Amino acid sequence: MSSTQPQLWLRAEKKPLERRAALTPKTAKKLVDAGFKISVERDEQRIFDDAEYEKVGCELVENASWPSAPASVLIIGLKELPESNEPIKHTQIQFAHCYKRQAGWSKVLSRFARGNGTLYDLEFLTDAHGRRVAAFGYYAGFAGAAAGILAHTAQKQGQGQRLGALEPYENETAMIDSLKKSLGGSGKGTRALVIGALGRCGRGAVDLLRKVGLDENDILKWDMAETAKGGPFQEILDVDIFVNCIYLSSSIPPFITPETIKAAGSSRRLGVVVDVSCDTTNPYNPIPIYNINTTFPKPTVDVDLG
């Protein structure tokens, strides 16, 4: 970077329906005031308008133009880059999803090696006490539990019914009202289990379930103490919705398996598994009942019980 003015470049996100930004206009203003030059790629998908960045002193640049930026410029994003074989020459800040050997990890890291670039993975950003700074978000659990409610109510509409494409809501209030309506006005009678309930993600899931009207006794809140004995767990089969919000860092016994689901037969209450942690390609995945990621157009996948 220039010794006179450090520069950050906010790139546009390329995942479908990804509206979040790694840098908000409010934070951008603080950086500009501190002497940074901030370049922001134009992005119609981003939740913040381009004009909000321009208003606080950022430079607007073309969408996906970061590869042409000088090598000294630090590129900041949220999610992983689109697939490519091009070497990466820049320093990149992002969630790369590489260091737990997720699918394609070696290909991604090789791009940095070939281009002499540097990766700062937000997943491993910690404070002086070793605590993660950019940990699983509260709203990841909140939104995941909301999708679980929608999938549950779709099932209740009849045999073979599946949740259709997900669309964004105008705000949280509109979403809660819609979920309550789908539940018939209240979530009473619906039972859910959240594993990882003491973490940020888990707290978000629990709060969503409360807001849509589930009785407190019908929200089972598990964390490390409850899972210490090792799975599989019968309790998961005895609720309508299971929400997984753990941070996976090592091998653990599975929470649920196709065999335990099949063995439960007609006594099984479980209808929906929400895997917010989403370690689908991780060899330690504690929910080995599916092997493909869902999408906004197709947010659920059937469990194959053979």
Q: Which residues are catalytic?
A: 79, 97
CB atoms within 10 A of CB 284: 14
**The two structure tokens encoding residue 175:** 């979403």
Q: Alpha-carbon distance 98 to 80, whole Å?
A: 9
Residue 103 CB contacts under 8 Å (≥ 6 apart), including other chains: 281
Question: Crossing angle, helix 138-156 and helix 200-211, to 10 degrees?
Answer: 40
**C-beta separation of 276 from 246 below 8 A:** no
95, 80 Cβ separation under 8 angstroms: yes
